[in-house]
Structure 1
Amino acid sequence: MEKYEQLAKDILENVGGVDNINSVFHCVTRLRFKLKDEKIANTDKIKALDGVVSVIQSGGQYQVVIGNNVPDVYSTFVEVAGINPEGAGETKSEGNIFNRFIDFISGVFTPVLGVLAATGMIKGFAAMFLAFGWLSDKSGTYQLLYAIGDSLFYFFPIFLGYTASKKFGSNIFIGMAIGAAMVYPTLAGIMAGKPLYTLFEGTVIASPIHVTFLGIPVILMSYSSSVIPILIATWFSSKVEKWMKQIIPDVVKTFLVPFFILLIVVPLTFLVIGPVATWAGQLLGAATIWLYNLSPIVAGLLLGGFWQVFVIFGLHWGLIPIAMNNLAQMHFDPILAMTFGASFAQIGAVLAVMIKSKNEKLKSLSIPAFISGIFGVTEPAIYGVTLPLKKPFIMSCIGGAVGGAIIGFANVKSYIMGGLGIFGIPNFFKPGSPIGSTILIVIIAIAVSFAIGAILTFIFGFKDPANAKAETEASGRETETLIEREILTSPLEGEVITLAEVADEAFSSGALGKGTAIKPHNGKVFAPASGVAATVFPTGHAIGIKTDEGAEVLIHIGLNTVQLEGKYFTTHVKQGERVEAGELLVEFDLEKITAEGYDVTTPVILTNSDKYLDILVVDDQTVKVGDRLITLVI
């Protein structure tokens, strides 16, 4: 815990504290917050924290991207915040319908994704060993491996009953009991027998009847691996539970509430909810396949090309339940299959950046990002490397699009929801079938995606944030390969000196931030960039500007001038007001301040200078208002 304790405390403070948190949970790389007011969160400060890759606000969630260490950071965070991890994900969804849908889907599926990927990998490897002839389907080794891999999928409604109930804020064990009833083995055995009669015979929804409940025919369905029926049943259960708690006396609530809920919800699930939801799932699966069959190549281009964009905004959650439904209804899925090359295109671009860049910090970021990407976790690559450089991200999207088109053209499908990255290859082994050309096509697709991402990044290049100090010293000028984050103009007319020359250790040591200082020729201070007057001291001797690009600039007029208590200073802006570049901020009487014995040297510093790779100050000895003064480099 100690390793991430300070990071957890800093995140907690800057999201607005516990009182601003409705819920928090994590996925593979992100802390996902539901905040009461996202405007309270200090996004810039969170982004600048050591250990935070980026911050994304999408789908009604405030997502703090951590990377591979997110489980440890999450466990530390809930302990520091005093949040019960079992209840950390419970929240009432707010916002528009789309945001509520994304929030619900992510909240239900995120807790099981790790185990889902693990069991899928085991199931995929078992299918691969069978296809290679290394194991027989009669061997105990194969049967045990398959049982381990298939366990979660077979009993999926039980797991979703837990996570959905937790999301709805209802009794999680009731949700699990509903899911368990749906996959009860005896009912599956009944379905194998001869039906009593068939409802809707001769139609697409013909349904054999094997049993009745109170004389009402029960349409038994195979709910193993299903998604939609349990989600609807659990939602209905949460409504019944709320109603039951209002009418049942407290003294008997403990057992009578679940007693009546199960007696009401489970039969209704078998009689109505399950069949209708299953038919809806079948129609949804048929609709996706119909769209896919219209043009698999176009579908592959779009899904493969935009998959990483979907991941950035959390929109991929809308496709995951469709893919799971396809696997449950048709035992295959083409949707996620077409996105498989995207992560390999991403690491291809990262490899090109790692080789081509001369910046040591970028190279060091690229190595772990590349390794994570091999295993399908691309957030470190996206937020740490390709997206900030822009062009490599675009090239990776092109690579993913081509890979998706290849998979779409070859009509390749996945048969399990398994691992990511290289561990996802077994997803394409069809259980019980010999190895054919499918795996070869998958390998070709990911190889092409990787190659396109790498080659295009090499050809089109990127603006390399090369080592600013080394190149400046070698060339005596600012290198053209720097990424200029922002230009700050001079707020005063006067003589430029280094901070080291300032007769105040707090400034000269750089403890307050990097920058420069100006010995003013007159008594007017102007805004060095557009932004907000974040701090205006009542004495008028100092003003802090937070620029539109995120720079936090402090202009301190004179040394120890706070002792003048505002005498000789006139401010023209108020704290919190917006200012435009070149706008008059403060006027001061230069002659009178000097006559009172004060040094009027004015430091201009970046209080968040650690956010930048380098801060370059002009070599000119004198500057006028509006001249380039400081270049901020990332």
Structure 2
Amino acid sequence: MKNETSKYKKIADQLINIVGKDNIESITHCVTRLRIVVKNRNAIDDDAIQDVDEVKGVFYTGGQYQIILGTGIVNKVFDQVSGVNKDGTEDSKNEETTNTGGSWIDKLKRGIRILSDVFLPIVPILGATGLFLGLKGVMYNPIVLSWIGMTPKMIPNSVTTLLTVLTGTAFNFLPAFICWSAFKKFGGTPVIGFLIGLMLVSPSLPNAYDVASGAIKPIMLFNIIPIEGYQGSVLTALFTGIIGAKLEKRLRRVMPNSMDLIFTPFVVVLVMLTLAFLGFGPIVHLIEQGLVHAIRAFLYLPFGIGGFLIGVLYPLCVMTGLHQMSIVVETSLLAATHFNPMITVEAMYGFANAAVCLALALHSRKASQRSAGISATATQILGVSEPALFGVVLRAGLPALLVMVLCSGLGGGILSLLHIQANSYGLAVALSPLMYIYSAHQLIVYVLVGIGTFIVAFLATNTFAIPKDDRQRSIHEEDKPSMTINDNQIGTTALFAPVVGKVISLNETNDPVFSQKLMGDGFAVEPTNDEIMSPVSGKITMIAETKHAVGITTKSGLEILVHMGIDTVSLKGKPFDIKVKVGDSVHIGQKIAKMNVKEVKADGKDATVMVVMTNMNDVVSDWKLEAINLDEKDYPEIGIATMNGQ
């Protein structure tokens, strides 16, 4: 345990140091990602972040720098974060500072994120309760019991009571958990929120579920106002928690110190209970009931149309960050009905995303992309979708995205048509069937539709969405035997372009040394990207003190010079970040440096990158350049210049 804590402490410290403590306004986390509100996104080195252990990817959206760590890891890393504003709890600057700027869509994303942060701590308890309900369904299944010669009536009352405690407590006291989390998120005292939440579902009040079923009647205050518990009312508890936290903060600013300890909680509890039962509470509760009925009606539109539309839109919401709102909707559904048909439909995104990612990976002509794609597929199957979505599917272009969202919609439509619904949330793809073990029919149908969605998405990707360049696989260095270029043996060595951009001959460069080929022949690239890759496989033999040039020698003895920019020696290394050291072995497409193209141009220099064979007169008899305009979609193994030796 100590070693594990040390591991996550090291990861947390590395991430904070790379992002920069002074660059962080606040940090929180969701189920799979650290979410950091930063002052300057451009100050973060994405490559350094992705080199940290356990990091599966990064992206920036909605004003947040998000680091993908995965389920079960992110919370352990977050717990070890220190020295920065965590979760907005330090005077709640998070909400006030991050909602003041940006476009309306950014403000909407931040608002949704803040609401989802209230519900994230509750996900594990409702997820566990769903599993308890599933196990209870199995235990009480007459067919299962018949295997051991029992019937449901033979189960002792004491066992039934204990199972009721396991399966009912979380839902019965859900408003208390929501109020506690809302107070914590918005800067109040969490225990005050918990007390108010418990009062909303006090056993002294008529249970809302019993009132809804007609078993009992509500209490009539003054013979006019009906009063009942708020079991299953998510929005009422949420509003009570948010308003209560803000009221407490205001009171503490004006309450005399001698009275603050007792009278602030007294006023907050009294005011919020009055508002909840006699003010906004009944109205919000009615609105929530209407929304739950509307969502269920939409999900079960004829022919599965509702499920199809949600299945199509959900991946797009994930791309923009708006999917975080679904946790609020799903919690309301679970609280009101103990079922969650929303996640059933949304889960098809995971199956479709995994299938498209796998098909693209298997067809990739680049070994590095094949490996990354297969890894991202495995990560998606375990529940983390971002590496597959952002790292593979979106990079493959619109056809792959269309296949994924349409197959997601198809699976969702079928499930809604068949009225399949989970009894929990928080599980995806491989683990998601656990949310259906309460019913053999639900479980079997869900698994079959999930597998069918995966197969259809995989086949459709193979048919319609494989990029053209990957259908026509070119020969790569790793696919052919090594060759020696010397006076006695005939062979060829392939040179790859080291950066995305326009390939030109050395004759077209603006440097007389290179354009007249005084150092040797080769080619150049006018870059549109900062990442510099190795054009060959070999060993690093030279790095210029000013970092503007790197020398590589291949196994065949060919010496390659990668020269970044023209006359950039005068910049004294400022725009360059070398990723290798002398003596390192590198392969084609491996990152060897980073050149800040904008900074080079701002200093009045030409950013053209030259690749020169400095000893070609000794080992090469023929040289052929295949000028190719490079496309970022094909990055990093992009374009080939071929050298023929005799």
Q: Which amino acid aligns with 1:124?
A: G
The yes-or-no answer on 1:420 pairing with 2:432 is no
How far apart are residue 237 of structure 1 and its match?
A: 0.8
Q: Which residue of 1 aligns with 2:566?
A: 525
Quote how far apart the aligned CAs of 1:10 are.
4.1
Q: Is the 8 A contact 2:187 2:249 kept in 1?
A: no
Distance 1:484-1:466 versus aligned 2 partners, 3 A rule: farther
1:454-492 Cα offsets, whole Å, 9 max, x none, are 222333435559994313657946599x99855565654
One-letter code aligned to 1:117: G
2:126 to 116, 126, 139: 116
Say yes or no: does 1:73 pair with 2:77.
Answer: yes
1 CA distance for matches of 2:251 and 2:314?
44
Aligned with 1:252 (options 259, 272, 291): 259
Q: Which residue number corresponds to residue 171 of structure 1?
A: 189
| Alpha-carbon contact 1:155-1:180 (below 8 Å) kept | yes
Matched residue, 2:180: 162
Aligned-partner SS, 2:284: helix
Q: Decide whether aligned partners of structure 1 residues 340 and 468 sit closer, same or farther in structure 2, where only a CA change above 3 A counts.
A: same
SS in 2 for 1:34: strand
Offset, 1:334: 3.5
Q: Aligned pair in 2 of structure 1 residues 147, 386: CA closer, same or farther (>3 Å)?
A: farther
Moved more, 48-57 or 102-111: 48-57
CA distance 1:385–1:126, change in 2 (3 Å): farther
Would the alpha carbon gap of residues 7 and 468 (structure 1) be closer, same or farther in structure 2, given more than 3 Å must change?
farther
Cα distance in 2 for partners of 1:239, 1:393 equals: 43
Alpha-carbon deviation of 1:262? 0.8
| Alignment correspondent of 2:525 | none
Match of 2:33 in 1: 30
- In the alignment, which residue of structure 2 is the partner of 1:612? none
The 2-side partners of 1:393 and 1:483 are apart by 28
Distance change (3 Å), C-alpha of 1:459 and 1:233: same
**Which position in structure 2 is the counterpart of 1:454?**
458
Alignment equivalent of 2:200, drawn from 158, 162, 182: 182
Give distance in 2, aligned partners of 1:133 and 1:262: 50
> 2:26·2:84 contact (CA, 8 Å) conserved in 1?
no
- Given candidates 55, 60, 80, the residue that maps to 1:57 is 60
* SS of the residue 2:412 aligns to: helix
Question: For residues 72-91 of structure 1, what are the structure 2 equivalents within 5 Å?
Answer: 72-76=76-80, 78-79=81-82, 81=83, 87=89, 90=92, 91=94
Are the equivalent residues in 2 in contact too, given 1:118–1:419 (CA < 8 A)?
no
Whether the aligned pair in 1 keeps the contact of 2:550 and 2:562 (CA below 8 Å) is no
Q: Aligned to 1:395, what secondary structure does the other structure show?
A: helix
Amino acid at match of 1:32: R
Distance in structure 2 (CA, Å) of the matches to 1:624 and 1:451: 39
Partner of 1:615: none
Q: State the 1:167 CA deviation.
A: 1.5
TM-score (norm. length: structure 1): 0.72
Counterpart pick for 2:575 among 544, 565, 568: 544
Residue 362 of structure 1 deviates from its aligned partner by 4.5
CA contact 1:418–1:427 (8 Å) conserved in 2: no
Matched, 1:275 2:282: yes
Pair 4,413 (structure 1): closer, same or farther in 2 beyond 3 Å? closer
Q: Is the 8 A contact 1:4 1:73 kept in 2?
A: yes
1:107 and 1:519 map into 2 onto residues whose CA distance is 48
* Equivalent residues, number: 551
Corresponding position of 2:543: 506
1:419 CA displacement: 3.3
- Cα distance in 1 for partners of 2:566, 2:23 equals 38
Residue type of the partner of 1:123?
Answer: L
Which of 367, 380, 383 matches 1:376? 383
- When normalised by structure 2's length, the TM-score is 0.71
Query: Is 2:637 the counterpart of 1:633?
Result: yes
Query: Are 1:151 and 2:169 matched, yes or no?
Result: yes
What is the correspondence of 1:474-623 to structure 2 with a 5 Å cutoff? Answer: 476=492, 486=501, 492=511, 493=515, 494=517, 495-496=519-520, 505-507=542-544, 516-517=560-561, 525=566, 539=570, 544=575, 575=599, 585=606
**2:404 equivalent in structure 1:** 396
Please show how residues 104-503 of structure 1 align to structure 2 within 5 Å: 104-131=114-141, 133-134=143-144, 136=152, 138-139=155-156, 140-141=158-159, 143-188=161-206, 209-212=218-221, 215=222, 217-295=224-302, 297-353=304-360, 356=363, 361-362=368-369, 364-366=371-373, 369-390=376-397, 394-417=402-425, 419-428=427-436, 435-436=440-441, 438-460=442-464, 461-462=466-467, 468-471=476-479, 476=492, 486=501, 492=511, 493=515, 494=517, 495-496=519-520
User: Which stretches in structure 2 are left out of the alignment for 5+ residues?
Assistant: 146-151, 483-490, 523-533, 553-559, 578-590, 613-619, 639-646
Q: Against the structure 1 CA distance between its residues 227 and 619, is the aligned structure 2 distance closer, same or farther, given a 3 Å change threshold?
A: farther
Q: Deviations over 1:255-283 (max 9, x none)?
A: 22111111111122122232111101012
Farther-moved stretch of structure 1 (53-62 vs 362-371): 362-371
Distance 1:106 1:604 in 2: 50
Superposition CA RMSD, Å: 4.8
| Cα distance change of structure 1 residues 20 and 287 upon mapping to structure 2, 3 Å threshold | same
Distance change in 2, residues 1:55/1:467 (3 Å)? farther
Distance 1:270 1:385 in 2: 51
Superposed CA deviations along residues 376-398 of structure 1, whole A, max 9, x for unmatched, are 33334334544444465543333
Determine if contact 1:178/1:266 at 8 Å carries over to the other structure.
Answer: yes
How far residue 126 of structure 1 moved from its aligned partner, in angstroms, is 2.1
Q: 1:71 to 1:187 in 2, by over 3 A?
A: same
Query: Partners of 1:258 and 1:152 in 2: how far apart?
Result: 25
Counterpart of 1:517, as a letter, is L
Letter in 1 for 2:28: F
SS at match of 2:17: helix
**C-alpha spacing 1:603/1:345, structure 2 compared with 1 (3 Å):** closer
Post-superposition offset of 1:229: 0.5
CA contact (8 A) 2:551 2:561 kept: no
Tell me if the contact between 1:102 and 1:318 (Cα under 8 Å) persists in the aligned partners. yes
Give, in angstroms, the shift of residue 18 of structure 1: 2.0
Return the offset for 1:14: 3.6
Contact 1:27 1:110 survives alignment (8 Å): yes
